[in-house]
Amino acid sequence: MRLTTVFASAIALIGISAFAASVAPPASVDQRDDSLSRRTVADTDMGTLITRAESPTLKDAINAIHHPESDYFHRDQWLKRIVDGLRDKWPNHNVFAFHRFGGDFKWGVTDKKSMEAEAAFFDFNSKTEYFQVVVFKSAGILERVGGDGGWANWGYSGWYDEDGDKVTFRNPPK
C-alpha cells in the first residue's frame, strides 16, 4: 500500500512537471518577436521578413486616440477606436491591426513607406495585449490562419475585398 502511494505521488509529480514544461515558454524566448510573418504579394519582395523601424508618427497617432475607461473592459471597442481613428487621420490609406498573440496572421503590403507600430492594450486585470498596426497606401493582404476572429483580435479599414479569413487590400484612390 505504501509503495503504491509513493509510486502514485511520483507519477503525479512527473505529470505536473511535464505539463508545466509544455505550457511555459523557455526563458530565452521573447514572445513578442515570433508571431509576425508576411505573405507574398504579387510583384513584391514581401514574402520575406523585412526589418522596418517602428514609425514614431504612427505611434504618436495611436497614443493620441482617446479611450474611455470602459475600453479597458472591452478590447474589441479599443481596437475599433484605433482603426477608426487612424482611418480618420489618414483617409486615403488602408489600415489594419491584429492581435500578435491571439491568433496566427500572415500579412504583406506593397507600400515601401508603410507605417508600422505596436499598440499595447492594458486591461482591467493589468494584462497587456500587443497589436501590430499597419497604415499603408498600396495593395496588401491580411490573412488569419488560426485563432479567434472578431474585433477583439483584428480590424481593418480602407479599400478591400474579404474572402472568409483573408482580406485583400486594393490601392486607395490618389
Q: What is the pLDDT of residues 30-65, one digit of tens each?
A: 333 333 344 444 444 444 445 567 899 999 999 999
pLDDT at 26 over 50: no
Tell me which of 42-51, 61-70, 144-153 is least confident: 42-51
* Cα 85 to the center of its chain, rounded Å: 18
Side-chain half-sphere CA neighbours of 104 within 13 A: 3
Q: Say what percent of the chain tops pLDDT 70.
A: 68
Q: 153 burial class (0-12, 13-18, 19+ CB within 10 angstroms)?
A: buried
Tell me which of 3-17, 41-55, 125-139 is least confident: 3-17
Whether 95 contacts 134, CB under 8 Å: yes
Whether 77 contacts 65, CB under 8 Å: no
Average pLDDT across the chain, whole number: 75
Q: Which amino acid is at 13?
A: L
Residue 93 pLDDT grade (very low, low, confident, very high; cuts 50, 70, 90) = very high
Side-chain half-sphere CA neighbours of 67 within 13 A: 23
Q: Say what percent of the chain tops pLDDT 90.
A: 40
The strand ranges marked E within 51-159 are 94-99, 103-109, 115-122, 128-136, 140-147, 154-157
Side-chain half-sphere CA neighbours of 174 within 13 A: 0
Please indicate whether residue 78 or residue 50 has the higher confidence score (pLDDT). 78
